[in-house]
């Protein structure tokens, strides 16, 4: 009986150690969506606050999406905006998988994307990552002319006048840009210099000259 108990305790300890090693603490470098699956078409189930700690359970081997847990919400976030400390320096998790020792995960996407979002719309290209996704620890709004509160009139107009959604690889964050080679329609807002679009299931305000997201309507 004693030997069995010791063996059981050892197995439990081993499993706990393995689980602890598999999970990594990271920081979100900007307000970051948590989605029900690894892709821009999946439903948003939560938002990680910028500079908040989040548990990363693992990342896909062939994509920049990581399985995360944040304040009781489990889901997937875009790993380009998750950093972890390695040798006292913040590094982007998906660009330093070996150094961070993040677990490699798989995900069966058969029928999942359409079921999750109610659409089978294709991803037509990729967003250019904002500064927080390019330089670990960068201030996402610094020097970008990021919109403060655009005002209730603008928000109301955007939410009451939805447009056809588009889906781009990556995640909608303040500072992300639309590549010049992707034909994306931006829509006018009365009495405003900004334009808007619905991207990855989220209405966003855009600086049309820079083709840059400056505000996310949540």
Query: What is the token pair recorded at 47?
Result: 């938002």
Question: Residue 96 sits in a domain of what CATH number?
Answer: 2.30.30.40
**How many domains does one find in the chain?**
2
Confidence (pTM): 0.79
Mean pLDDT over each residue of the chain, to the nearest integer: 82
What torsion, rounded to 10 degrees, do the Cα atoms 165, 167, 170, 174 define? -20
Residue 31 lies in a domain: yes
| Domain membership of residue 14 as a residue range | 2-110
4-18, 88-102, 184-198: which has the minimum mean pLDDT? 4-18
The DSSP annotation for 90-119 comes to EEEGGG-HHHHTPPEE----TTHHHHHHS-
Are 48 and 105 in a shared domain?
Answer: yes
Query: What is the token pair recorded at 9?
Result: 């305790």
Mean per-residue pLDDT, 172-201: 94
What pLDDT sits at residue 125?
78
Query: What is the token pair recorded at 6?
Result: 């010791």
Q: Given a cut of 60, is residue 147 above it in pLDDT? A: no
Confidence band of 91 (pLDDT split at 50, 70, 90):
very high
Are 103 and 175 in a shared domain?
Answer: no
Are 104 and 136 in a shared domain?
Answer: no
Residue 80 lies in a domain: yes
Are 76 and 137 in a shared domain?
Answer: no
Are 171 and 134 in a shared domain?
Answer: yes
Alpha carbon distance 176, 150 (integer Å): 18
Are 60 and 98 in a shared domain?
Answer: yes
Specify the length of the chain in residues. 218
Are 125 and 202 in a shared domain?
Answer: yes
Which of 110, 143, 167 is the last residue in one of the domains?
110
CA atoms within 13 A on the CB side of 150: 28
Report pLDDT digits (tens) over 54-83. Answer: 999 999 998 999 999 999 999 999 999 999
Are 185 and 212 in a shared domain?
Answer: yes
Which of 55, 88, 110 is the last residue in one of the domains?
110
Alpha carbon distance 145, 134 (integer Å): 18
């Amino acid at each position: 009986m004693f030997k069995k108990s010791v063996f059981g305790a050892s197995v439990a300890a081993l499993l706990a150690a393995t689980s602890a090693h598999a999970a990594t603490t990271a920081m979100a470098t900007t307000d970051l969506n948590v989605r029900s699956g690894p892709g821009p078409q999946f439903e948003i189930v939560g938002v990680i606050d910028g500079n908040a700690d989040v548990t990363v359970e693992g990342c896909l081997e062939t994509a920049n999406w990581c399985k995360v847990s944040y304040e009781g919400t489990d889901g997937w976030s875009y790993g380009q905006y998750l950093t972890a400390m390695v040798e006292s320096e913040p590094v982007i998790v998906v660009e330093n998988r070996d150094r961070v020792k993040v677990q490699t995960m798989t995900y069966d996407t058969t029928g999942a994307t359409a079921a999750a979002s109610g659409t089978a719309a294709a991803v037509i290209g990729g967003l250019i990552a904002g500064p927080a996704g390019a330089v670990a620890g960068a201030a996402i709004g610094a020097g970008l002319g990021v919109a403060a509160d655009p005002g209730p009139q603008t928000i109301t107009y955007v939410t009451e006048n939805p447009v056809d959604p588009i889906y781009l690889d990556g995640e909608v964050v303040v500072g992300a840009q639309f590549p010049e080679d992707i034909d994306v329609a931006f829509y006018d807002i009365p009495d405003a210099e900004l334009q808007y679009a619905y991207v990855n299931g989220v209405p966003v305000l855009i600086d049309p000259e820079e083709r840059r997201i400056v505000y996310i309507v949540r």
